[in-house]
């Protein structure tokens, strides 16, 4: 089994008088209780892919500052001596994935799979859905019209009734939206179903990261965010694969009928998941929160569950949300976050996932195969991006710049191929590169930088604003791209190239050089254990485990 990030135990002795050594309980306290409280305070209750970077920085900083302060401290003439072993650290002793926690994560991530599936499900069957219809662009874009509504409803509903009931409501919305589309007698009815599934997807985009972040221990929140992100892109790929059933004579209704079937399965699975311990604490139901923690983390004794509950209780005030309109909220670089979310959508990525089959018609012999290749590369590129974020300290700015530059180059290649200046097959290759470079930076980073830029108590408000900007931009792109494609023809990707050029210039000129420095910025000096965990212990009365005289 791999060693956790903090695989060290600190033990601290103090010589108070000649011959006397007092062994502090600060070995597990610093490596465990207080350091763990600091982790809870510094890392938002939000599961977002890419958060591993912030998490590792926080852990390294807390561990480094704690050790250095105690090594150098001199208090009233007493000599502090520090010994460091390699036998594990209590701070992360419960940060592993239990079977129940894994099942909970997969059940919640099913909503993100549905999100991805419904994003792209109407891509392949465009020509067979109500032949001779009008208003196809409206039906496709209606998905994004429901998104921001669902995002607002998702937050309010889960706050009022709980995360578990929120998941149940989310599954019901996916079932209703999918059922309306499956039985739709007209394009208008299909459009209504798309609005409902869009609302369900917006609901999921708010609820799932929140729920996973609240059930997961601090160190695993980035990992669970990665699971949710992979579920989303896997859903896009699944939609392309299921579309091959049409070649066996299946109706387009089979494609949209997958969603309500999956929703029924998810409804049954949601009954067995646990309520969020954090939500229960906010509602004053501490006993229920302790029971949920015991089941999720597989605690074998009450003390471990009580300790973990204590960390949540201590950080509740630190994470008390700030409203979006407050001056404190706007102390964060909200302009940079909004700009990245605008760039993420106006770069045209969802034009590919909504219309790639139509766009590739006449460019490659088999547009559905081309769409499937693009979706498969999307999954692979997402995995690579997650590994890079987790294992390599590459920095947000270089990744964003590389992503925007790579996508810009891909847009140029697509345009040249459509103008017959390059072979047509280059258009498909360029489209694959376009999607791969998107997942490297512009895909995940606009979401993960919210956790880097804002203090924990403001992350929810910043994420909510980001959702609204993102979904609105998504709707505009989905609605206008067919018109752009029909009007500009081979120059259809030119507007996206302009956006990407502006994005590259913005990232190089205005984006912070290194966001990880913001990850361990102290925002609340009144919380001593957040700012200086080691000093907090020095200023506190020691808990004596043993005292004896030395000759």
Residue 53 predicted with pLDDT over 80 = no
Q: At residue 506, what are phi and psi to the nearest 5 degrees?
A: -65, -45
Distance CA 211, CA 106 (A): 12
Please tell me the distance from the alpha carbon of residue 438 to that of residue 433, in angstroms, as a whole number: 8
Which whole number is the average pLDDT over 142-170?
A: 91
Question: Does residue 475 contact residue 141 with C-beta atoms inside 8 Å?
Answer: yes
Supply the pLDDT for residue 316.
66
Under 8 Å between Cβ of 489 and 418: yes
Q: Name the more confident of 404 and 45.
A: 404
Q: How far apart are CA 194 and CA 527, in angstroms?
A: 47
DSSP 8-state class, residue 354: H
| Mean pLDDT within 428-435 | 94
Tens digits of residue pLDDT in 324-339: 444 444 444 788 888 9
Q: What is the pLDDT of residue 117?
A: 96
Comparing 60-69, 347-356, 359-368, 480-489, the range with the smallest average pLDDT is 60-69
pLDDT tier at 317 (50, 70, 90 boundaries)?
low
DSSP assignment string, 3-62: PPS---EEEEEEEEETTEEEEETHHHIIIIIHHHHHHHHHS-S---TTTHHHHHHHHHHH
Whether the predicted pLDDT of 165 surpasses 90 = yes
pLDDT at res. 61: 66
* Residue 40 near residue 502 (C-beta atoms within 8 A): no
Question: How many whole angstroms from its chain centre is CA 332?
Answer: 19
Point out the least confidently predicted range of 2-16, 299-313, 357-371. 2-16
pLDDT at 91 (0 to 100):
43
Strands of the 74-75 sheet, one edge to the other: 74-75, 78-85, 9-17, 20-24, 544-549
361 closest CA partner among 419, 436, 424? 424
pLDDT bin (cut points 50, 70, 90) of residue 340 is: very high
**What is the longest distance spanned by two Cα atoms in the chain?**
97
What pLDDT is recorded for position 163? Answer: 94
- Given a cut of 80, whether residue 205 has pLDDT beyond it is yes
CA distances from 332 to 61, 317, 326, 420 (A): 21, 19, 11, 47
Specify the pLDDT at position 69: 43
DSSP codes, 109-171 = HHHHHHHHHHHHTTTGGGGTSSTT-S-HHHHHHHHHHHHHHHHHHHHHHHHHH-HHHHHHHHH
Mean pLDDT of 292-318: 81
Continuous H helices in 271-395: 277-282, 286-297, 302-315, 334-346, 349-360, 367-391
pLDDT above 60 (res 14): no
- Is 75's pLDDT higher than 50? no
Confidence band of 386 (pLDDT split at 50, 70, 90):
confident
What is residue 72's predicted lDDT score, i.e. its pLDDT?
41
What per-residue confidence (pLDDT) applies to 211? 94
Under the banding of pLDDT at 50, 70 and 90, the label for residue 456 is low
User: Does the predicted TM-score (pTM) go above 0.95?
Assistant: no
Half-sphere exposure in the Cβ direction for 162 (13 Å, CA)? 17
Q: Cα(315)–Cα(313) distance, rounded to whole angstroms?
A: 6
The pLDDT value recorded for residue 314 is 77
Please report which confidence band the pLDDT of residue 64 belongs to, taking 50, 70 and 90 as the band edges: low
**Percentage of residues in the chain with pLDDT exceeding 90?**
40
Give the pLDDT band of residue 268 (cuts 50, 70, 90): very high
Q: What pLDDT score does 442 carry?
A: 92
Q: What is the DSSP string of 182-236?
A: HT-SSHHHHHHHHHHHHHHHHHHHHHHHHHHHHHS-GGGHHHHHHHHHHHHHHHH
**Cβ-contact 87, 9 below 8 angstroms:** yes
Tell me which of 73-77, 152-156, 382-386 is least confident: 73-77
- Decide: 242 and 77 in contact? Cβ < 8 Å: no
Q: What confidence category does residue 320 fall into, taking pLDDT thresholds of 50, 70 and 90?
A: low
């Amino acid at each position: 089994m791999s060693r956790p990030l903090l695989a060290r135990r600190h033990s601290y002795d103090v010589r108070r008088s000649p011959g006397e050594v007092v062994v502090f309980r600060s070995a597990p306290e610093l490596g465990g209780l207080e350091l763990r409280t600091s982790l809870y305070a510094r890392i938002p209750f939000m599961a977002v892919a890419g958060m591993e970077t912030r998490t590792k920085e926080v852990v390294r900083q807390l561990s480094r500052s704690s050790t250095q302060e105690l090594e150098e401290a001199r208090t009233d003439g007493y000599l502090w001596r520090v010994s460091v072993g390699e036998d594990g650290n209590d701070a992360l002793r419960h940060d592993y994935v239990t079977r129940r926690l894994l099942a909970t994560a997969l059940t919640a991530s099913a909503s993100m799979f549905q999100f991805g599936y419904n994003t792209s499900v109407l891509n392949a069957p465009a020509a067979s859905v109500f032949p001779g219809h009008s208003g196809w662009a409206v039906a496709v874009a209606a998905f994004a019209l429901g998104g921001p509504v669902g995002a607002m409803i998702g937050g309010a509903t889960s706050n009022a009734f709980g995360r578990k009931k929120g998941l149940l409501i989310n599954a019901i919305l996916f079932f209703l939206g999918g059922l309306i589309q499956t039985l739709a007698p007209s394009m208008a009815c299909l459009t209504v179903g798309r609005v409902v599934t869009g609302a369900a997807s917006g609901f999921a985009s708010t609820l799932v990261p929140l729920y996973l972040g609240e059930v997961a221990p601090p160190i695993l929140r980035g990992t669970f965010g990665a699971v949710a992100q992979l579920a989303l892109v896997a859903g896009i790929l699944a939609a392309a694969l299921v579309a091959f059933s049409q070649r066996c004579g299946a109706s387009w209704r089979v494609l949209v009928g997958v969603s309500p079937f999956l929703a029924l399965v998810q409804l049954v699975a949601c009954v067995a998941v646990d309520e969020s311990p954090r939500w229960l604490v906010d509602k004053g139901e501490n006993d229920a929160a302790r029971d949920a923690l015991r089941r999720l983390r597989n605690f074998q004794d009450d003390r471990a569950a009580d300790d973990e509950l204590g960390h949540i209780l201590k950080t509740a005030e630190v994470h008390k949300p700030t409203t979006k309109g407050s001056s404190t909220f706007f102390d964060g670089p909200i302009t940079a976050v909004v700009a990245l979310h605008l760039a993420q959508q106006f770069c045209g990525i969802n034009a590919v996932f909504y219309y790639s089959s139509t766009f590739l018609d006449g460019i490659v012999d088999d547009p559905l195969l081309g769409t499937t290749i693009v979706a498969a590369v999307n999954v692979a590129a997402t995995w690579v991006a997650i590994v890079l974020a987790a294992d390599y300290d590459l920095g947000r700015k270089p990744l964003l710049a590389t992503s925007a530059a790579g996508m810009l180059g891909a847009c140029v290649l697509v345009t040249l191929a459509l103008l017959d200046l390059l072979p047509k097959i280059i258009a498909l290759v360029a489209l694959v590169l376009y999607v791969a470079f998107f997942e490297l930076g512009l895909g995940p980073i606009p979401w993960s930088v919210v956790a880097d830029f804002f203090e924990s108590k403001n992350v929810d408000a910043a994420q909510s604003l980001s959702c609204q900007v993102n979904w609105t931009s998504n709707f505009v792109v989905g609605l206008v791209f067919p018109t752009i494609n029909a009007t500009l023809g081979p120059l259809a990707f030119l507007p996206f190239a302009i956006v990407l050029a502006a994005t590259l210039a913005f990232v190089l000129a205005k984006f912070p050089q290194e966001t990880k420095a913001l990850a361990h910025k102290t925002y609340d000096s009144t919380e001593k254990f957040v700012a200086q965990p080691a000093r907090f212990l020095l200023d506190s009365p020691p808990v004596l485990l043993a005292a004896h005289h030395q000759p």
